[in-house]
Amino acid sequence: MSDQPSDWQASKGLAKSMLHDRSTRRKLMGRSLAVLLAVFAIGLWGIDKWLAANLWRFIIWWGGCAFLALFVVVFAFYDVMRVIREERERF
């Protein structure tokens, strides 16, 4: 066996380091929110007729949008909890 970590271990380490750094976490939240707004705008104005033509397209598009919105909300909640924990540890 080699001393190199597996892809899974490397990915976990990268995610952990990104989640523990406040500025990186905020950048990721901002980008996620920008993607959510772009997807929402595209669905409302760009492809609205295409989505309205088929019920399954409509459900899948807006379901994905809802999933992305839920991700952003959970990520923001994690950030709030992490900031509270960091501030408590400071004192």
Give the containing element (helix H, strand E) for 59.
Answer: helix 55-90
pLDDT of residue 90: 83
CA distance 58 to 47: 10
CB 43 within 8 A of CB 51: yes
Alpha-carbon separation of residue 46 from 2, 67, 73, 83 (angstroms):
50, 20, 25, 38
pLDDT of residue 7: 80
- Encoding tokens for residue 8? 């899974």
pLDDT of residue 1: 53
Query: Nearest CA to 11 among 2, 22, 19?
Result: 19
Tens of pLDDT, residue by residue over 3-16, are 776 788 877 777 77
Tens of pLDDT, residue by residue over 31-90, are 999 999 999 999 999 898 998 999 999 999 999 999 999 999 999 999 999 989 988 888
Res. 2 pLDDT band, cuts 50 70 90: low
CB 21 within 8 A of CB 85: no
